């Protein structure tokens, strides 16, 4: 039985450990493992190769994905999906593990309904914004990359008595910014999901500045589109020199954390065990309430991810309470 793996959409740390475990688990179960290089584009262009242990030796510590990734407009056209199917048929591949987000899973669902190619999606995105799962592969490493950057920025902020506005990734989801702000002790946090009352922030920060605070950190989610506004606000309302740092793509890279490596192995094992069962069609493996389960792709794509309530409560306690000093 031939089985393939591919990355689709944005890359993240944890993909390479998943790829390594995929090859090892496939061979252990007497399956023939294949790589699909360059995601959906590679599926169309027949960048498909049978692999062995040699192909995954020494990759577990590497960020990114050795099989590369892509975003494909061509895959929306049925003639290219047909070409992709013919390529898989040449290699006798009927099952695919997909490392990606809900857009990739949606594309594969269409592919399954047209040609019967089974798939299991593994949520892999640093935004951590896929419905039905508490955790997506790569988010832990991204949070640690942000932590390192914020800690370094704090050093220079304190040296010059400045404010720094630090923008994290997250197109529509403030998970990275929120967790990073809480765990770094940032004075300001701005995310798209929750309205930010700067009057409360101002009173609290001014009280702290009157009692010895010499610098401050503001962590802003990319999706809020408030980076420039917060910089101007700090300068105008707090009268403090302010700099902006956009962390950008460093958040996607770096050595996968222990947790991302561990979860990669669990995601892959569960996915392979599931995809070889007859009743499996097109599903996504999720990690919810400390256990793995499988969800239908329709449930994943028809619902919107919401920040966990415990994080929202922490946000409100930290950033929405009027200072009583």
Q: Per the residue annotation, which of 127, 129, 140, 260 is the catalytic one?
A: 127
Coil, strand or helix at 192: coil
**Distance between CA atoms of 210 and 73, rounded to whole angstroms?**
55
Distance of CA 132 to the CA centre of its chain: 14
Measured CA angle at 15 (ends 118, 269), to 5 deg: 55
First to last CA, the chain: 68
Which residue has tokens 């069962």?
277
Name the helix (H) or strand (E) containing 245. strand 242-246
- Separation CA 201–CA 216 (nearest Å): 12
Angle at 252 between CA 61 and CA 154, to 5 degrees: 100
Joined tokens for residue 323: 């200072």
Which residues make beta-bridge pairs with 168?
A: 221
The answer to whether the CB of 60 falls within 8 A of the CB of 261 is yes
Are the C-beta atoms of 252 and 140 separated by less than 8 Å? no
Q: How far is CA 302 from CA 102, 210, 295, 297, 299, in A?
A: 10, 49, 12, 8, 5
| CA gap 197, 114 in Å, rounded | 49
From the number of C-beta atoms within 10 Å of its C-beta (0-12, 13-18, 19+), residue 306 rates as exposed
Is-catalytic flag, 127? yes
**Nearest residue to 47 (alpha-carbon basis) of 35, 58, 55:** 35
291's CB contacts (< 8 A; 6+ apart) are none
Residues identified as active-site:
127
């Amino acid at each position: 039985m031939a089985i393939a793996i591919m990355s689709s959409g944005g890359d993240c740390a944890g993909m390479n450990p998943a790829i390594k475990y995929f090859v090892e688990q496939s061979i252990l179960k007497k399956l023939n493992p294949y790589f699909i290089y360059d995601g959906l584009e590679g599926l169309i262009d027949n960048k498909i190769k049978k692999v062995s242990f040699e192909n995954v030796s020494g990759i577990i510590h590497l960020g990114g994905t050795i099989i590369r990734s892509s975003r494909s407009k061509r895959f929306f056209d049925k003639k290219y999906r047909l070409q992709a199917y013919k390529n898989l048929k040449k290699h006798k591949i009927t099952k695919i593990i997909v490392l990606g987000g809900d857009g990739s899973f949606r594309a594969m669902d269409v592919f399954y309904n047209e040609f019967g190619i089974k798939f299991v999606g593994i949520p892999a995105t640093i935004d951590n914004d896929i419905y039905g799962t508490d955790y997506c592969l790569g988010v832990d490493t991204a949070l640690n990359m942000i932590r390192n950057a914020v800690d370094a920025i704090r050093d220079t902020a304190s040296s010059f008595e400045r404010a720094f506005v630090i923008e994290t990734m997250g197109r529509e989801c403030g998970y990275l910014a929120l967790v990073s702000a809480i765990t770094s002790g940032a004075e300001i946090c701005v995310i798209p999901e929750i309205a930010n009352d700067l009057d409360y922030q101002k009173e609290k920060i001014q009280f702290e500045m009157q009692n010895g605070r010499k610098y401050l950190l503001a962590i802003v989610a990319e999706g809020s589109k408030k980076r420039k506004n917060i910089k101007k606000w700090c300068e105008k309302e707090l009268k403090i020199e302010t700099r902006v740092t956009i962390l950008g793509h460093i958040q996607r890279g770096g050595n996968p954390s222990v947790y991302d490596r561990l979860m990669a192995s669990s995601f892959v094992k569960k996915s392979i065990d599931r995809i070889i069962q007859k009743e499996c069609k097109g599903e996504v493996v999720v990690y919810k309430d400390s256990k793995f389960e499988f969800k239908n792709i329709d449930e994943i794509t028809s619902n919107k991810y919401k920040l966990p309530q415990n994080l929202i409560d922490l946000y409100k306690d930290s950033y929405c309470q009027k200072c009583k000093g």
